Amino acid sequence: MPGGFRIRAATTDDVPALFELIKGLAAYERLLEQLSATEESLRSHLFGARPAAEAVLAEEHGVAVGFALYFHNFSTFLGRPGLYLEDLFVRPEYRGRGYGKALMVFVARLAQARDCGRLEWSVLDWNRPAREFYRTLGARPLDDWIGQRMTGEAIARLAGHRLPGEDG
């Protein structure tokens, strides 16, 4: 990595740069049409009264070249917290210089310092470069687990069900 590199916690002042990186990630993952985040939603959910996640920026001479966004989960089997890496992204023109590894090292050190039993993330099946990169770091795929997801209408439908004993 060239001189002038650093990783630091994102602040509310970094929301515009973070949002640009997120748009870059969405374009890379061919999911730009699904991007509904805004600078305001990021500001509110990352830096509001009850932050839902944390983000760090990788910078070269003060220019944001990548980011990692993560949050805590909990393993009932381990009885310990874990970190879930929601997104890791390095601008294409900065790849191959060690920024992605530096972000992963930062997050791994954070997980270790916070006594996390796991560091987990998902990677798109077609993203072979990312899958190979993660394997070089010692990650292994969880072939026996299938991710599940609910969004929008499905969440609303399920939340609308009455629980036993509820009047209605």
Which domains, and CATH codes, for the chain? 5-159 (3.40.630.30)
Taking residue 102's Cβ as centre, other Cβ atoms within 10 Å add up to 19
pLDDT at 146: 82
Q: If you search the block for the tokens 């969440």, which residue do you land on? A: 155
Q: Are 86 and 53 in contact (CB under 8 A)?
A: yes
pLDDT in tens, 81-122: 999 999 999 999 999 999 999 999 999 999 999 999 999 999
Measured CA to CA, the distance from residue 46 to residue 44 in angstroms comes to 6
- Bridge partners, residue 67, by sequence: 57, 89
Q: How far apart are the first and last CA of the chain?
A: 61
pLDDT in tens, 56-71: 999 999 999 999 999 9
Q: Are 66 and 90 in contact (CB under 8 A)?
A: yes
Taking residue 69's Cβ as centre, other Cβ atoms within 10 Å add up to 22
134 labelled catalytic: yes
pLDDT at 168: 60
**Sequential DSSP letters for 59-94:** EETTEEEEEEEEEEEEETTTTEEEEEEEEEEE-GGG
CA atoms in the 13 A half-sphere facing the CB of 51: 13
Q: Counting beta carbons within 10 angstroms of the beta carbon of residue 89, is it exposed (0 to 12), middle (13 to 18) or buried (19 or more)?
A: buried
pLDDT in tens, 4-50: 899 999 999 999 999 999 999 999 999 999 999 999 999 999 999 99
